[in-house]
Amino acid sequence: MPVYKSDCFVNILLTGGMGYIGSHVAVVLLQAGHRVVLYDNLSNSDAGVLVRIEQITGKMPIFIQADIRAAETLADALKQHAVEAVMHFAGLKAVGESAQKPIEYYANNVEGTISLLEAMCKAEIRTLVFSGSAAVYGEPQYLPLDEMHPLSATNPYGRTKLHIEEMLRDLSASNPLWCIVCLRYFNPVGAHESGLIGENPVGIPNNLMPYIARVVAGELKELSVFGNDYPTPDGTGVRDYIHVMDLAEGHAASLPWLAEHPGCYAINLGTGQGYSVLEMVAAFASASGHAVPFQIVPRRTGDVAACYANPGKAGRELGWRARRGLFDMCASTWKFQRCIGLESCTSRAISP
């Protein structure tokens, strides 16, 4: 695995750092020699992640349990730990749920980001890596999606991400000291190669891969495939799935670049390859050795037919590209799913 070192920033705070993406980024940063502070309210994660991060890296990150909307607590954390840069992962992220609970999404995502920015201003920290989303592209006008594609949103989740990007651009325009990059994710999947950390949402998963994993593990009856009448090769939605460790390495690669680029930028993190839901089902069955029961159900509000990246800018600017393939994504997810089902998973990795 590449080691991304940066002499520009040593102390980095990760909001939502105990979550799926934040925990994997923490591993990469710790292995690169950074000191990491994880700030999380544990609403969709568990404290055991801290121990597992230490097992992987040999280092225990600092953990602060608090809500991102607690601006004073956040400002104190930034000051106490001499934080120099922030990576912002905290927020709600399910498309379907956002259509049912829009107020919660605006409160958590938009208000939470305002709280973070207020705390950063108070602490005079001006470097931010924002956990963005391809949802800001809305209904694709062309594919693959590059950063110049017009911005819009088809669901409340996407609109929160779009509002935040607009805020960040306004903030950067108001003060030339700000260095901000919005990393627009496509669809993060997979787990750390150890099997010790991965995507383990509280309750019923909203994302495809952990749902498939729980179906195969026997915890859920079957997968619901939302629509098979899209204008795609097999009628199911097509997405750009990116391994979470590739995503984490993209974050680490952004730090030295950001130190030399004041302003506000957007960069896609994806593979440039689209896979349908049924292709993902077949790939997981192959990697796990188990069939994936599924049923076709009506389309979900806010979904688009196909969405995949043009990741060229990340290669040109960050020197980064996705290196792991679909089999790695599925096999690592299944390894993690087996691991969390065993009492010994916090002390050793389990072979697939």
What is the C-alpha to C-alpha distance for residues 197 and 288, in angstroms, rounded to an integer?
18
Could you say which of 39, 137, 157, 275 is catalytic?
Answer: 157
Tell me how crowded residue 122 is: count the other CB atoms within 10 A of its CB.
Answer: 15
Give the end-to-end CA distance of the chain in Å, rounded to a whole number. Answer: 20
130 near 68, Cβ under 8 Å? no
Of 114, 154, 119, the closest CA to residue 135 belongs to 154
How deeply is 252 buried, as exposed, middle or buried, from its count of CB atoms within 10 A (0-12, 13-18, 19+)? buried
Read off the tokens for 41. 């309210």
Q: Cis (ω within 30 of 0) for the bond into 144?
A: yes
Quick one: 11 exposed, middle or buried, by C-beta within 10 A (0-12, 13-18, 19+)? middle
Which amino acid, 238? V
Query: Is position 157 annotated as part of the catalytic site?
Result: yes
- Enzyme catalytic residues: 157
